[in-house]
Structure 1
């Protein structure tokens, strides 16, 4: 809310000082002041200063022109020159209280409130609070400090009673009501101003700001466009339309509006970064990169410029340059500026360049800043894929935390295998037991539990793996299609065959190995065991015959 109000002030409030020229007694002064006001409306403050400087040269005895020149100089960032202009105006005509108000305005924006109040009170006393231009000038100064908004309103109501149809008075009334967050009164005042000067874009622009503040974006857009209809060169309306479209993610419209604004304003540099953002959102990365590159050459280049330049280069697939600019960003940015997403962007960029190890480093940095399940998953999957099982185990533990202890079946399978190949067979068994809870009707969890336990009982003395290989056989044999469970069933038959053999149940062993050979005719274990049984039987028969 405060930002929108601030825009309403920074975007053109200074130009309103020139409208009071209609009240001046000397007719030849009006064109210069009006022209300066129009130049201010399109953010051409250098030209406004030049226009009024020429008017002062032509009319050196007119102290009011020095006031308007001083106000233009303030808008142009030339406060010291403005001070000189106001002082010169007082020297030319000590009774022209406008220049006292100008000095008071300067003190107010410098936050020297006590001195400002003294000067403004002096201006009012000198004119007995009956001079409308001075009343408005003092009110404008008061509006620079929220503590004096009510005082400004009192003065503006008095000015209104003196000049009932003064455009500037209604604009300032609208500004005061806007600061008090009285949208209805503000819009009403601006509408009156619009009827008094239909060719000025200021009233409709300011109505648009009021609606924008209340999040009535359609009405805000309508009035910004009305400002442009009134004055096709009204720069601030194009600027605010660009911001409005940007907020609505209407990238092409935002770019178009901002390009028009940049073509009109005398100082496009401060808006170049916003323009680059709009181009980035519009996916016009080539043009965005040109703007970003220009911004990086400025002495006051910020870390934000490098950040989004790197993003844009990445999207434009200028990967090597993007990596370089990311380096500049991380070198310049304060630690508090860096976001987890920045490391993710760089990591994705590095992945595209097959720099997987560096990518993982940056994914992990991202996770240190923000626990993100997606990034934790990426890290765990990457370590597992690379067969870096100790790292994978730690990454899956972190993923478990990120997912509130709810690993998926795929995650449990990968974690169990990581434990298995890292020879942590107890942990592997526990993990595959979790998997069995999620997937009780497939062979995989039971087969891997059995394999894990078999490693803890290599001599088959305890038969730790037996119940789980039996479960594998039960599930697999109940399914006519054994293609998916074939590897698990092969291991199960092989284990059970040897288990029966160690227990002296050779008939069960033979039957099991026969099933194994039927399932896998080329299986060397089955062939060797059955051949051994055959030879043992033949030898036994031969010995029996010999006796």
Structure 2
């Protein structure tokens, strides 16, 4: 029931907006901004509301233009013809029909002469620009520019000829020149928001700051124009700011003027902003119209895998993987599945799909670490070390957390190995990593604690006291918050107590069993074991040690 209400709320927005729609200003702004899908949605809806012939004819012309740009020439022709039926004297639709006939062997000039219904048309800059666009869409840039120049001669104060000229240059890949013409369009016609938005889109990849500046100017001129928030959403999406992307794109969607591609993009933005509840009805709407759309099906599986609980999470993405041809699967599909398998502690399968993800996108070298982590969970330390090392080869300066992980792997391998040479090699590698960790986080006890453990294994008889300076450093740091570091402090005190006991015992043995010369060392041992009892009064090791020290 809740989902139905969300869907209803989302798609009532269009109806609510339509009541206010009468003229075509918003739709024309969308069209001039290059937002063809949104413009088409506007004009389709607005046509239902209009009664005046001239407005209906204008709406049909722009619908024809939208369908032409979208490659739907038959639909374009239908609306141009319908516009002529609404108002035969409206020349723009006749221009549109001629535009559909343009080609290499067609004399467009003769055909265009026939469309003018009055002498005024020949002196109308807008009519000249309509012909320029017809040539532009037919791929004849030379003729398109001829009519842009004629329009400019007829209305030297309008920015629209510069807008169309910018479109011509943009199609030719002349981005800098196109932006300059859009700038001129905005100069002569400050209310031409399409000029700002087209600049913003062209600058989006190369200069986001400049793109944002153009959008801010558009917002100053037309703060309510929905197209601004669409491109703002895309800009923030590209910048990785999912919250700002979702906030702005939501404002665009709330206008009601969107197509299925916009909804699909919106769903993707909501996914990365973790708004799964809001995302689901959007995807359900898209799938209702396009049930076989691969991107929609993919996002739907992602959404369910995040939103549902228990087995449903895993089943959603599993179904998508199994029902989608392998050649159509992407890195993120495998990642989503691997993550859900990890949650279910199916580590072997998860590793398989992490590897598939890495194969699908070899640039995602950070996945090596995820694979290594899973091998640790699966208690396969040899494999874990291999993948951590591969990750370290990729990451020049590994994070402290990763140094600790690999160091612990080597330490635990050493604990398992019985071959002294191999064990020593692993301990030295572990110590090297913990040492590097101490440089990165010198105020943390962690590196010293693990170096102490490594040194203790390298000195199994505890006669050299290799771990002593590291345990002492842990105590220095840990005493600031003894309750928090209780476990670590107990281990430190036990080691130091035992170390001094070993020294004392050696002195006693050297002196024919006379403990008198070892009193100081026995005293140190008792002191440390007593400190253990201040943290845990029932510690059996400390109690037995104190009992064995008679002095």
TM-score (norm 1): 0.60
Partner of 2:147: helix, strand, or coil?
A: helix
Partner of 1:324: helix, strand, or coil?
A: helix
Partner of 1:144: helix, strand, or coil?
A: helix
Structure 2 residue aligned with 1:434: 429
Partner of 2:137: helix, strand, or coil?
A: coil
Residue from 450, 453, 457 that aligns with 1:448? 457
Partner of 1:484: helix, strand, or coil?
A: helix
Structure 2 residue aligned with 1:208: 197
Structure 2 residue aligned with 1:184: 180
Q: Deviations over 1:376-426 (max 9, x none)?
A: 44544554455x3xx211221221222139884652443243254254554
For the Cα contact (< 8 Å) 1:350–1:359, is it kept in 2? Answer: yes
Structure 2 residue aligned with 1:139: 132
Structure 2 residue aligned with 1:418: 413
d(CA) in 1 for partners of 2:49, 2:499: 94
Structure 1 residue aligned with 2:145: 153
Does 1:403 find its partner at 2:385? Answer: no
| Stretch deviating more after TM superposition (337-346 or 82-91) | 82-91
Structure 2 residue aligned with 1:326: 317
Cα separation, partners in 2 of 1:510 and 1:434, compared to 1, 3 Å: farther
d(CA) in 2 for partners of 1:436, 1:318: 42
Number of matched residues?
Answer: 443
Alignment map for 1:63-462 (pairs within 5 Å): 71=65, 74=68, 79-80=73-74, 82-83=76-77, 101-107=95-101, 113-115=103-105, 118-123=106-111, 131-132=122-123, 135-144=128-137, 148-164=140-156, 169=161, 171-176=163-168, 179=171, 180-181=174-175, 182=177, 183-194=179-190, 203-214=192-203, 215=207, 216-226=210-220, 228-229=222-223, 232=224, 234-247=225-238, 254-255=245-246, 257-265=248-256, 268-313=259-304, 315-316=306-307, 318-331=309-322, 335=326, 338=329, 340=331, 342-368=333-359, 370=362, 375-384=367-376, 388=379, 391-404=380-393, 408=403, 411-418=406-413, 420-421=415-416, 423=418, 425-436=420-431, 444-449=453-458
d(CA) in 2 for partners of 1:269, 1:327: 26
Residue 140 of structure 1: how far off its partner (Å): 0.8
Structure 2 residue aligned with 1:46: 44
d(CA) in 2 for partners of 1:381, 1:245: 32
Q: Deviations over 1:491-532 (max 9, x none)?
A: 9999xx9xx9xxxxx9799799x99998868889x99xxxxx
d(CA) in 1 for partners of 2:470, 2:45: 91
For the Cα contact (< 8 Å) 2:413–2:426, is it kept in 1? Answer: no
TM-score (norm 2): 0.60
Residue 430 of structure 1: how far off its partner (Å): 1.4
For the Cα contact (< 8 Å) 2:430–2:454, is it kept in 1? Answer: yes
Gaps of 5+ in 2: 1-21, 31-38, 436-447, 476-489, 530-540
d(CA) in 2 for partners of 1:509, 1:329: 78
CA-based RMSD of the aligned residues comes to 5.5
For the Cα contact (< 8 Å) 2:73–2:100, is it kept in 1? Answer: yes
Residue 105 of structure 1: how far off its partner (Å): 2.5
For the Cα contact (< 8 Å) 2:271–2:279, is it kept in 1? Answer: yes
